[in-house]
Structure 1
Amino acid sequence: MGTLEVGLALMALLFVLLAGGVWVAISLTVVAYAGLALFSSAPAGLVLGSSLWGAVSSWSLAPLPLFVWMGEILFRSRLSEDMYAGLAPWLRRLPGRLLHVNVLGCGIFAAVSGSSAATAATIGRMSIPELRRRGYDERMIIGTLAGSGTLGLLIPPSIILIVYGVSAQLSIARLFMAGVLPGAVLVVLFMGYIVTWSLLHPGRNPPADPALPLGERLRASARLAPVIALIAGVIGSIYAGIATPTEAAAIGVAGALVLSAVTGGLTLASFRDGLMGATRTSCMIVFILAGAAFLTTAMGYTGIPRALAEWIAALGLSPVALIAALTVFFVVLGCFLDGISVVVLTTSVILPMVNAAGIDPLWFGIFLVVVVEMSQITPPVGFNLFVLQGLTGRNIFRIAGASLPFFLVLLSAVVILVVFPELATWLPQQMAR
């Protein structure tokens, strides 16, 4: 059996296990063990032990549980209410008005949570009843939340960027910096679509509220100050070189606890729930990473990544054609797996061909996250769709339909990222100086 045929057989085994409901981490481990035992002479047991220990003992993973915990704390605080009150008075005259609060609120919350699902759930729980009461178009309410909720994957501190950095052995701090400008571009694109839609459908938004005096708007905006301070403390400390990602994560947790206590959201029950939620999520992610590390090692022994890279190279695809093919591949894969699983499943196989094509792995990480964002709002396994279904009670396909324009906005962001790769590489270059 040839190397590529071995790869197809192992991929078929993986999909059978996943379709049977076996945990992702266990599926990865079983496939890796089968590959080593059946198609190589390496001692599978010894490789299993060394791979798993090497994966879970990596210092690069240290920020992960801290950032997850920070998001869990803020998820249970009054942060979303403060963001809404601070942003809403400034958006009354902009076409689309309070729909922009969804985008900006998700962008701000993404910068302190790192989670797509937590971002969509937190902002949606607060904004959906309010926007419905005011008479905003429900499809746009759902669409803006589904699209901008994905910002939690890209804007630092992004959990999935940490996972990619560990898998690809890249600097977490540089990846965080690489995600800042593309995240800001996405916010602008989402708001631009809302403005365009509102101008084309002027009768589908409610009348504008009376303008507030400048003093009242400034007083309302003061509620944003703690959030902005927390973002500056986390991201700014990394960019300035004052703190490592792990130290910045600790700063974020401490700041989140203080914010939660000051706003009255910190109780013994919320502290316990946040800690347990962070523990469950972190263990799940690390378990998947350990299985993926074992699979990566096993693939190296079987020679599949090298053979696949040689096959892709033989096709003679240009870097742009390769990126186009990978975009389709990741979107399809994201229809069946969550974003973290997509990253850990594919990094070991895809990176050799990416490197062979001369593509910057730092830029590729941002591209990968944006494409995974697209998969978050595609059925049947679009996590943000499930979150919004729970919040609205609407049919999943209706929610997917409302999300389609924002899927296309994300696709346009991929095109912009390909045309202007400096969006992802400029800040890390400045950081290195």
Structure 2
Amino acid sequence: MDAGVISAILFILMLGLLASGIWVAPALLAVGFFALEFFSPAPAGSLLASTVWDASWNWALTALPLFVWMGEILFRTRLSSDMFNGLSPWLARLPGGLLHVNIVGCGVMAAVAGSSAVTCATVGRMSIPELKKRGYDERMSIGTLAGSGTLGLLIPPSIMLIVYGVIAQQSISRMFIAGVVPGILIIGIFMTYVAIRALMNPALAPREEQRLSFLEKVKASRLLFPVVLLIFCVIGSIYGGFATPTEAATIGVLGALGLAWWSKSLNWASFMESLMGAVRTSCMIAFILAGAAFLSIAMGFTGVPRVLAGYVDAWNLSPAMLLVLLTVLYIFLGCFLDGVSMMVLTAAVVLPMVENAGIDLIWFGIFTVIVVEMAQITPPVGFNLFVLQGMTGRDIIQVTKASVPFFFLMLLGILIIGVFPEIVTWPVEYMIRKN
């Protein structure tokens, strides 16, 4: 049977299973089993057993539950209030005022949580009522949170970067290093946009009149400094070559437990909640990765990726046009699937195409994560939109409208790293030379 027909049948089957409400991982396993059973002579049962086993003990995955647990611990501390009180004295005088706290606060939280939804919820829990009380434009408040909350997928230690590294067989350490500068770049783009909008329309962000001395600012930020120090220890140990991602994650967990104890927000109940939250999230992701590994093997036996890659080669697409095509594909998939599912579903077909086009797989990983970030604020399955809808009480249309400018700002970020790929690749090359 023609590979195009096979791929269409498998795609329709996948959509049907997902639409029925079945979990993503069983859907991946079912489609892979169906492909092997009906379109390949390979033994489906034996391959299922061996592939799932191989995928379950991947050493790179050991960092995943530890980083998730670190974020779960800090999510249950006073981090959100400490972050707002610590950042606001430094950022309040900028055009846009405390809206910048949303952006920078999400960047800080992203570096400890690794999750988009947790980042958005933690910062928004404190900032939304405070900004509303001070007369800030609600649409801008929601938009900055929606856009900046997605930084949890990009700034290391990002769960999404770990997932991509496992799927694409790339170094997790190098993926983390590659994500730092693009993350800072997008924070800078967001802050520039907010400042320009505030200068054009001062009513969006009231000017903060209170002036604090340098020592008063330092005193206000004293509770935030330990968290920033923890971030530097985790990322710095990887960047300096002193620790593997798993060892750095262990440092992060111990540091998070210490901070939670020091802030008197750690008790037996919160400890168990954080532990079980990490177990649930990690098991879900590991199950999806096992299903994706089996589907990739099944697709390889059917020959579909090779034939589809041949079709794309026949179109004579330039690398730039291929990336444009993939951007449209991921944004479309983001309307229906979460980020991890999008990445694992497309890996078997997309990664060979990208490699054949001569695109660096580490650079492509950062590109993919930014596009997946954009999908987090596209309806109807934009998780950040749901989080903000619940926190603000506004309908999904209003929240989506507030998020639209930040969707296009992330598109600008993709364009910049496309024109200047060294933004992603240079830190990795520097780390390789240094070590």
Same fold (TM over 0.5): yes
Shift of 1:83: 1.4
Secondary structure at the counterpart of residue 327 of structure 1: helix
The whole-number CA distance in structure 2 between the counterparts of 1:44 and 1:366 is 34
Q: Which residue is equivalent to 1:171?
A: 171
Q: Which residue is equivalent to 2:58?
A: 58
Please give the TM-score of this superposition, normalised by the length of structure 1.
0.99
Shift of 1:215: 2.1
- Give CA-to-partner distance per residue, 1:138-191, whole Å, 9 cap, x none: 000100000000000000000000000000110000000000000000000010
Q: Which residue is equivalent to 2:29?
A: 29
Q: Which residue is equivalent to 2:382?
A: 382
The whole-number CA distance in structure 1 between the counterparts of 2:90 and 2:351 is 44
Q: Which residue is equivalent to 1:196?
A: 196
1:88-237 superposed matches below 5 A: 88-237=88-237
Say if 1:385 and 1:399, in contact at 8 Å, map to a contact too.
yes
1:353-372 superposed matches below 5 A: 353-372=353-372
The whole-number CA distance in structure 1 between the counterparts of 2:389 and 2:257 is 30
Say if 2:91 and 2:97, in contact at 8 Å, map to a contact too.
yes
Say if 1:73 and 1:257, in contact at 8 Å, map to a contact too.
yes
Say if 2:93 and 2:207, in contact at 8 Å, map to a contact too.
no
Say if 1:92 and 1:211, in contact at 8 Å, map to a contact too.
no
Q: Give every structure 1 segment of 4 or more consecutive aligned residues whose post-TM-superposition deviation is greater than 6 Å.
A: none
Q: Which residue is equivalent to 1:317?
A: 317
The whole-number CA distance in structure 1 between the counterparts of 2:161 and 2:100 is 26
Shift of 1:206: 2.2
The whole-number CA distance in structure 1 between the counterparts of 2:238 and 2:108 is 18
Shift of 1:313: 0.5
Q: Which residue is equivalent to 1:401?
A: 401
- Give CA-to-partner distance per residue, 1:234-289, whole Å, 9 cap, x none: 10000111100000000000000001111111111111111111100001000100
Say if 1:370 and 1:410, in contact at 8 Å, map to a contact too.
yes
The residue identity in structure 2 corresponding to 1:201 is N
1:213-292 superposed matches below 5 A: 213-292=213-292
1:432 aligns with 2:432: yes
The whole-number CA distance in structure 2 between the counterparts of 1:204 and 1:160 is 34
Shift of 1:10: 0.4
- Give CA-to-partner distance per residue, 1:111-162, whole Å, 9 cap, x none: 1111100000000001111111111000001000000000000000000000
Secondary structure at the counterpart of residue 167 of structure 1: helix
The whole-number CA distance in structure 2 between the counterparts of 1:398 and 1:425 is 38
Shift of 1:84: 1.1
Shift of 1:228: 1.4
Shift of 1:82: 1.4
Shift of 1:203: 2.2
The whole-number CA distance in structure 1 between the counterparts of 2:209 and 2:74 is 30
The whole-number CA distance in structure 1 between the counterparts of 2:285 and 2:214 is 46
**Alignment RMSD, CA only?**
0.8
Secondary structure at the counterpart of residue 62 of structure 1: helix
Shift of 1:223: 2.3
Say if 2:417 and 2:424, in contact at 8 Å, map to a contact too.
yes
- Give CA-to-partner distance per residue, 1:286-340, whole Å, 9 cap, x none: 0100100000000010001111111100100000000011000000001100001
Secondary structure at the counterpart of residue 429 of structure 1: helix
Secondary structure at the counterpart of residue 140 of structure 1: helix
The whole-number CA distance in structure 1 between the counterparts of 2:191 and 2:232 is 23
Shift of 1:225: 1.4
- Give CA-to-partner distance per residue, 1:57-83, whole Å, 9 cap, x none: 111100000000001001001112111
Q: Which residue is equivalent to 2:344?
A: 344
Say if 2:238 and 2:248, in contact at 8 Å, map to a contact too.
yes
The residue identity in structure 2 corresponding to 1:164 is Y
- Percent of aligned positions that are identical: 60
Q: Which residue is equivalent to 1:38?
A: 38
Shift of 1:233: 1.0
The whole-number CA distance in structure 1 between the counterparts of 2:57 and 2:116 is 26
The whole-number CA distance in structure 2 between the counterparts of 1:300 and 1:86 is 52
The whole-number CA distance in structure 2 between the counterparts of 1:254 and 1:209 is 40
Say if 1:88 and 1:98, in contact at 8 Å, map to a contact too.
yes
Please give the TM-score of this superposition, normalised by the length of structure 2.
0.99
Shift of 1:232: 1.0
Q: Which residue is equivalent to 2:423?
A: 423
Count of residue pairs brought into register by the alignment: 433
The residue identity in structure 2 corresponding to 1:377 is I
Worse-superposed segment, 201-210 or 74-83: 201-210
The whole-number CA distance in structure 2 between the counterparts of 1:217 and 1:100 is 16
The residue identity in structure 2 corresponding to 1:65 is P
Shift of 1:202: 1.2
Say if 2:137 and 2:203, in contact at 8 Å, map to a contact too.
no
The residue identity in structure 1 corresponding to 2:84 is Y
Say if 1:177 and 1:239, in contact at 8 Å, map to a contact too.
yes
Q: Which residue is equivalent to 2:3?
A: 3
Secondary structure at the counterpart of residue 222 of structure 2: helix
The residue identity in structure 2 corresponding to 1:32 is G
The residue identity in structure 1 corresponding to 2:47 is V
